[in-house]
A = this chain, B = another copy of it.
């Protein structure tokens, strides 16, 4: 029965929020942040049992990162690296990938970011399987809602509606990143989950939604799939640059949320990395009256921190960063300034 299931990993992002480790040339999905494996590699390992076979696992990326994807995932069939001809945000990329996956005769797909971290892979798979089961037997677009454990203002939220089945609720609406007071209210109410950008659907359900809410993308992705390879770029260039959330999810009525709690992080800041990292400090970190210190370095020399709590020290050939973990979001301003000054 699972033979029609597939997995699509989105690995085309180019964040710099973990500078100096992540850059546009080396975005965070390719970084070995935890346990020596990259986030992409850990995502692959987490999802492979759901797909069952590498032939049903696809990676969406672009030309710039194709070699990195192939090098980091040696078991991924080369034909399953789906390269977008230009950067057009998630809706066009997902649309053309879904066309290709349908062409391979597959029936459903789970779409997941490549640059998030999960603590409990087994529980994650249990939740994702629940989502597949629902999507395979209903005309619904399923998304996974992450149980919030703090009033985070950096994520979008899902407003949860009435229960449909055990762990499955109808989605009321997508909500943009809230301010602090609103996020606290969301957390208190228990009626909101974090939007982790994970989607599970039958391909025919998705194409129906695409035709209804984003007919231009529906048509162009159809033409793209039918075009000979050397004409695809000119078709893709006509795509609007828009996210799947804006293009489809926020308009569709047939959305359900499967609630999940498996120790999730978007790894979106050094503060998120430090929270997710295991508590054990590396041997080359030496501290004096310093707690909550996160260090990333090659271990070739001691890193000493004296009299400072809750900081991260990121030592890389590209740069050295010392950052207050309670002000980690300020990094984006600094990276933008360095880019402008270049």
Contacts of A285-341 to chain B: CB distance below 8 A:
286-289, 297, 301-308, 311, 313, 315, 317-324, 326-328, 330-331, 333-334, 337-338
Count residues on chain A whose CB falls below 8 Å from chain B CBs.
35
Residues of B within 8 A of A313 (CB): 320, 322
Asked whether, in the complex, the Cβ of B289 is within 8 Å of the Cβ of A330, the reply is yes
Residues of B within 8 A of A287 (CB): 334
The CA of A320 and the CA of B319, in the complex, are separated in Å by: 13
Oligomeric state, in copies: 2
* Interface-centre pick from A305, A315, A318 (highest chain B CB count, 10 A): A305
A20 at interface by CB-CB < 8 Å: yes
Given the contacts A286-B337, A337-B286, A320 and B330 also touching, CB distance less than 8 Å: no
The CA of A319 and the CA of B322, in the complex, are separated in Å by: 15
Asked whether, in the complex, the Cβ of B20 is within 8 Å of the Cβ of A304, the reply is yes
**Shortest Cβ gap from A322 to chain B (Å):** 5
The CA of A305 and the CA of B338, in the complex, are separated in Å by: 13
Residues of B within 8 A of A320 (CB): 297, 301-304, 313, 315, 320
Residues of B within 8 A of A301 (CB): 20, 317-320
Interface of A: prevailing SS:
mixed
Question: Which residue of the partner chain B has the closest CB to A327?
Answer: B307
* Interface-centre pick from A19, A289, A304 (highest chain B CB count, 10 A): A304
Residues of B within 8 A of A306 (CB): 321-324, 327-328, 330-331, 334
* Interface-centre pick from A319, A324, A327 (highest chain B CB count, 10 A): A324
Residues of B within 8 A of A317 (CB): 301
Asked whether, in the complex, the Cβ of B288 is within 8 Å of the Cβ of A302, the reply is no
**Shortest Cβ gap from A272 to chain B (Å):** 15
Given the contacts A286-B334, A286-B338, A288-B331, A319 and B302 also touching, CB distance less than 8 Å: yes
**Shortest Cβ gap from A2 to chain B (Å):** 46
Residues of B within 8 A of A322 (CB): 303-306, 308, 311, 313, 322
Residues of B within 8 A of A307 (CB): 323-324, 326-328, 330
Residues of B within 8 A of A311 (CB): 308, 322
Residue of B305, B327, B338 near A289 (CB, 8 A) is: B327
Question: Which residue of the partner chain B has the closest CB to A295?
Answer: B320
> Can you list 11 A-B contacts with CB-CB less than 8 angstroms, sorted by A residue number?
A20-B304, A286-B338, A288-B331, A288-B333, A304-B338, A305-B322, A306-B327, A306-B328, A306-B330, A307-B328, A320-B320
Smallest CB-CB A-B distances: 10 pairs: A307-B327, A307-B324, A288-B334, A306-B323, A302-B319, A303-B320, A304-B321, A288-B330, A305-B322, A306-B330
Other CB < 8 Å A-B pairs besides A306-B328, A311-B322, A320-B320, 4 of them?
A: A304-B322, A307-B330, A308-B311, A322-B322
Residues of A within 8 A of B (CB): 19-20, 286-289, 297, 301-308, 311, 313, 315, 317-324, 326-328, 330-331, 333-334, 337-338
